[in-house]
């Protein structure tokens, strides 16, 4: 079977980011100090008001997570492996324990799967609210949505603190299942908050998504065609904004997603506004998922006891984090420390979109494109 990628033309030349410099251009360094999102530097080559080429220079927050993971036991790896993307910590935690549970042969009971799913979807809403406030709001100059989204995010953080005991870094899922059961008042307060949040989403739509300034800045900017998105190996909302309907929750269901009924929002245009809309609609789908999971919650134990040793072998596990497909490969050698942990996350995979999208655009379009890709430097650098 042949694919529909264009094969009649010879392959395009590879990205020449460090090509020879023309005399009319100027190299400007954007960063590395970015208070909103983490430190990374993009060296842009400008010719007047147009960007000619781009060279991402990352590594300013590289902490060596993969090397440290070989020196800590399997369970004490969880706190430092969930810190790369601290606002999305449940997904980073879950992706790590899925291959370990596979190697050890531990199956989480159904109630534990439902609790993990509820915590993961709450985390997705929190991460998208952070994106809305900073990457889409502050970077494009819209500070009202920053205040609105941060205020609502704080309400979700309070509920997460009620469930797990911590505001941002939960360490909630050791191998075998979640640590704690739902507290008594949790369900009632969560349903109250979801009802309030649905009305707020309508307001966000009015002040941000239907704002003529945002539409003028984001529509038609940074267009990523479907074949390019597939060829570059992008993932997450960036891929779904270009018309590819791919989500790990449907392709390889984990947790309770196989029993729940939800949609995958996909848009065809591929510009920055489509990527904004994908994340917005995902928040609405998350509300649906949480409501269904609370209704259908089964009774029973929440966790099984897992051994402390990782048997010999190699396993791959993946989850759909807020920034895309997060894949972990864990290799064990019959001791309590893993011998190799490899992390492949959505932010590092979208690094290749920078030289592609930031070509022949105005300098003022750069924050919008950067914000729509939702690149989190700490996660990409690990």
Partner 1 sequence: MANQSSTRKEDLVNKLKTRFPEAIKSSKIEGKRRITITFDKDKLLDIAQFMRDELGFDHVKGVAGVDDPTHKKIEVLYFTGSLSIPEIEDIILVLQTELARDNPTIASAVSVWESAHFHERETFEMFGVKFEGHPDLRKLLTLDNWDGPPPMLKDIKFPEMGQR
Partner 2 sequence: MMGPRLDPERFGLQAVAGSLRQCDLLIVEGTVTKKMAKRLKIVYEQMAKPRYVVAMGDCACSGGLFHDSYSIVNDVHKLFPVDVYIPGCPPRPEALLSAMLKLREKIRREEVFA
Q: Count CA within 13 A, CB hemisphere, residue 306.
A: 29
Residue 107 CB, shortest distance to partner 1, in Å, is: 14
Report the partner that residue 87 touches, choosing among partner 1, partner 2, none (CB closer than 5 to 8 A by kind).
none
Q: Which does 11 bind (CB under 5 to 8 A by kind): partner 2, partner 1, none?
A: partner 1
Does 74 engage in binding with partner 1 (CB under 8 A)? Answer: no
In the complex, least distance from residue 67 CB atom to partner 2, rounded to whole angstroms: 7
**Binding flag, residue 3, partner 1 (CB under 8 A):** yes
Task: Annotate 110-148 with three-state secondary structure.
Answer: HHHHHHHHHHHHHHHHHHHHHHHHHHCCHHHCCHHHHHH
> What dihedral do alpha carbons 349, 167, 283, 345 form, nearest 10°?
10
Interface with partner 1 includes 24 (CB under 8 A)?
no
Partner whose binding site includes residue 32, from partner 1, partner 2, none (CB under 5 to 8 Å by kind): partner 2
Residue 229 or 302: the one with the smaller Cβ distance to partner 1 is 229
Q: Does 379 bind partner 1 (CB under 8 A)?
A: no
213 closest CA partner among 267, 150, 278, 136: 136
197-226: which residues touch partner 1 (CB under 8 A)?
Answer: none
Residue from 138, 162, 168, 230 binding partner 1 (CB under 8 A): 230
Sign of the Cα pseudo-torsion (333, 338, 340, 343, in order): positive
* Residue ranges in 54-93 that form contacts with partner 2 under rule CB under 8 A: 59-64, 67-68, 71, 79-80, 83, 86
Q: Give the whole-angstrom CA distance, residue 378 versus residue 89.
A: 12
Report if residue 151 touches partner 2, rule: CB under 8 A.
yes
DSSP secondary structure code for residue 261 in this structure: -
Q: Which of 167, 340 has the CB closer to partner 2?
A: 167
φ, ψ for residue 147, nearest 5 deg: -65, -45
* Cβ atoms within 10 Å of 186's Cβ, excluding its own: 15
* Helix H or strand E encompassing 52: strand 50-57
Residue 35: HSE in the Cβ half-sphere, 13 Å Cα cutoff: 1
Among 147, 216, 223, 251, binds partner 1 (CB under 8 A): 251
Which residue number, 233 or 301, has a Cβ lying nearer to partner 1? 233
Site of interaction with partner 1 (CB under 8 A) = 1-5, 7, 11, 14-18, 58-59, 62, 64, 66-68, 71, 102, 230-233, 235, 239, 244, 246, 251-252, 316, 318, 325, 327, 329, 331, 340, 342, 344, 348-349, 351-352, 381
């Amino acid at each position: 079977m042949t694919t529909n990628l264009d094969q009649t033309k010879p392959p395009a030349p590879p990205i020449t980011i460090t090509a020879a410099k023309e005399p009319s251009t100027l190299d400007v360094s954007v960063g590395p100090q970015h208070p909103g999102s983490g430190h990374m530097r993009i060296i842009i080559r400008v010719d007047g008001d147009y960007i000619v080429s781009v060279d991402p220079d990352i590594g300013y927050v590289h902490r060596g997570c993969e090397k440290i993971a070989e020196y800590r036991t399997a369970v004490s790896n969880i706190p430092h492996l969930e810190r790369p993307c601290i606002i999305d910590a449940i997904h980073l935690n879950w992706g790590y324990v899925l291959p370990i549970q596979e190697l050890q042969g531990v199956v989480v009971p159904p109630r534990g799967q439902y609790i993990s799913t509820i915590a993961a979807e709450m985390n997705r809403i929190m991460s998208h609210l952070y994106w809305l406030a900073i990457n889409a709001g502050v970077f494009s100059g819209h500070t009202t949505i920053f205040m609105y989204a941060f205020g609502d995010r704080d309400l979700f953080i309070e509920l997460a603190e009620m469930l797990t005991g911590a505001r941002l870094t939960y360490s909630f899922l050791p191998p075998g299942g979640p640590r704690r059961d739902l507290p008594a008042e949790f369900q009632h307060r969560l349903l109250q908050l979801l009802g309030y949040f649905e009305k707020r989403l309508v307001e966000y739509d009015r002040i941000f998504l239907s704002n003529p300034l945002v539409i003028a800045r984001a529509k038609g900017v940074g267009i990523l065609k479907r074949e390019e998105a597939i060829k570059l190996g992008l993932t997450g909302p960036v891929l779904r904004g270009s018309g590819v309907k791919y989500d790990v929750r449907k392709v390889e269901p984990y947790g309770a997603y196989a029993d729940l009924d939800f949609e995958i929002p996909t848009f065809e245009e591929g510009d920055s506004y489509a990527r904004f809309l994908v994340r917005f609609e995902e928040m609405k789908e998350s509300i649906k998922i949480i409501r269904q999971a609370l209704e259908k919650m089964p009774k029973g134990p929440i966790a099984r006891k897992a051994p402390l040793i990782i048997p010999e072998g190699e396993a791959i596990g993946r989850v759909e984090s807020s920034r895309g497909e997060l894949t972990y490969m864990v290799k064990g050698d019959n001791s309590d420390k893993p011998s190799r942990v490899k992390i492949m996350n959505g932010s590092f995979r979208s690094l290749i979109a920078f030289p592609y999208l930031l070509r022949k655009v105005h300098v003022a379009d750069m924050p919008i494109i950067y914000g729509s890709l939702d690149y989190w430097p700490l996660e990409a650098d690990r």
